[in-house]
Amino acid sequence: MAIVSEHFISAELADWQTPVKDKDLTTSPESPSNGDRYVIAGTGGDWSAGTINDIVWYITSEWYFITPTEGMQVYLEDENLYYFYNGSSWGTISGGSSLWEVDGTETQLKVADEIDMQTKKIINAVDPTSNQDVATKKYVDDNISNIIKNTNNIILNAFRIAVNGSLAIFNMIDGIVDEYEDETGINAGASSGESYNSSGDYYTQDSTGGEGIDTYTKLCLHCNGVDESTSFPDASASDHTVTANGDAEVDTAQKEFGTGSLKVDGTGDYLTVPNHADWDVGSGNFTIDFRMRPSNYSSNWGTFAISGISANTANQMAISWYTVNGLQFTIYDDDWASLVSLSQDATSGWSADTWYHVAIVRNGNTFSLYRDGVLLDSTTYSGAVPDYSSDLYIGCQYNSGNVGSYFPGHIDEFRWSKGIARWTSAFTPPTAEYAEPTEDNMTLVSDSFTAEANPSNARIVILEEDVDAITINTDIKAYVSEDNGSNWHQITLSDEGDYDSNKRILTGSVALTDESDTDMIYKIATLNDKDCKIHATALSWD
């Protein structure tokens, strides 16, 4: 006995190229085969969830119920006839004599050139009676958009089947469907700029160029500019305002990367960045890293700090240098109790006027302090870092509302990353200035698919997800070739709405008039460095 399943599928999603076996059964068959379809005349057995005139579809031991819409057509296998749904019942469509019979009423229709896929109109429809000709042609013209819509929905249904069944590219009648379960079906040699995401089953643009500035980056100071400038732009998307205090300035004579670095002389110079939720890292992962070039190690100094003031004392998170313990990272709570303490516990390995990369990383409950990618100390703490509600100070110590212990030297490439542990073991420090990666334009070219006859028309359906704002036919274009890519026909795309909450349906068709070959290929091109995701593509032809 099959499982009774109250699965209802929109009629627009059904694939009508598969025949319907029978329309006279009032109860479900005892031993249906996978893929069997029926028009039901009753709701007995496993069809209790349906309605008379529904189409039922047996898939993997479950019945799916499809409510027909007016104008829908099916082929009835046991009668060798086409049936037409008029909104309340099914009637026959006779073939062979150009007669359409709907509920016993015959209408003669002769079609010379069939359907123009560009205008979606019947061409040269004639009939012995002029009024009948006009009426018949108008009826077909008025309903041809539903036929095109059903064609698209056949493909959407195939996409769903492919997703649910984790299917790679597969053939349909005069077409193919590929939901990118894997890279089968794409010609990697002919494609360019594409990157396949195996966890999400989609293609997107390949990222090239810089790295290090991403959605986790909440502050990034390159400290570039003209010499003695007091402007320190934030290169992250947060675009924080940075204020130079004292004689803090850009020095173009010393820099690790770019055109300059922050110069502070140890006597009242520092930067401040206003209090922001970006500094509240809570119990999540984070990374703070920068380059520093101290001019001396003979006194205690700080490189950055944030601190809140409580009723009786202060709390603080800071990186400092101590003449006894060397480099140290600390987190204190409101009672000045140490929550996290990382210390080199030595002063070895440092030289004046030498650049070093310093990083503090939280990965889960593990806090680590690195110098030039080498671990200096680590400890564990499972709690949250306090929300200090404080400005961020760079180039000094700050606690209890007091600024002091000023850093002597240069600082470059200061980056605050929230939500990511960028390093979890020894590493080689970055060798270039941090930058956002750029998205290449992508050209996605399919394998070749053989048509049984020279096609006259081609149609494409694409499931696309915007990352940047994408304008169709400007930032994304589609093409088809029937001669293995020697000649391409651009398809004008239309937005047909959303497939789900974040994927939209792009469709279009084109007449193929120049070639007489059968090697079908599609091409999807993105332009203007706009980023998107291509989740599925179907190509059909006739």
Same domain? For 329 and 453 the reply is no
> Does some domain include residue 28?
yes
Q: Which of 407, 309, 399, 412 is nearest to 357 (CA)?
A: 412
The reply to whether 411 and 453 lie within a common domain is no
CATH number at residue 462: 2.60.120.260
Does residue 382 contact residue 366 with C-beta atoms inside 8 Å? no
Q: How far apart are CA 383 and CA 364, in angstroms?
A: 10
pLDDT tens for each residue of 262-305: 999 999 999 999 999 999 999 999 999 999 999 999 999 888 67
Q: Which two tokens stand for residue 466?
A: 């915007």
pLDDT of residue 357: 97
Rg (CA), the chain: 34
Between 399 and 144, the more confident residue is 399
Judgement on whether residues 76 and 202 belong to the same structural domain of the protein: no
Total domains in the fold of the chain = 3
Q: Do 271 and 413 fall within a single domain? A: yes
Within this chain, do residues 5 and 101 fall inside the same structural domain, yes or no?
Answer: yes
CA distance 367 to 383: 12
Tokens of 34: 């996978």
Query: Contacts from 212-216 at CB under 8 Å and sequence distance 24+?
Result: 212/415, 212/430, 212/434, 212/435, 213/434, 213/435, 213/436, 214/436, 214/437, 216/417, 216/418, 216/419, 216/420
Confidence check: pLDDT of 176 > 90: no
Whether the predicted pLDDT of 60 surpasses 90: no
Residues 402 and 522 in one domain: no
> 356 lies in which domain range?
217-435
Token pair of 264, please? Answer: 């502070």
Task: Check which CATH number belongs to the domain holding 349 and give it.
Answer: 2.60.120.200
Report the C-alpha gap between 343 and 329 in whole angstroms. 6
Q: Is the pLDDT of residue 146 over 60?
A: no
The mean per-residue pLDDT over the stretch 4-10 comes to 42
Which pTM was predicted? 0.51
Q: Are residues 306 and 431 in the same domain?
A: yes
Indicate whether 196 and 252 sit together in one domain.
Answer: no
Looking at the structure, do residues 399 and 494 belong to the same domain, yes or no? Answer: no
In a domain, 156, yes or no: no
DSSP SS3 for 53: coil
Instruction: Say whether pLDDT at 119 is over 50.
Output: no
The answer to the question of residue 319 being in a domain is yes
418 with 514, same domain: the answer is no
B/e letters for 423-454, b = 16+ CB within 10 Å, e = fewer, are beeebebbeebbebeebbbbbbbbbbbebeee
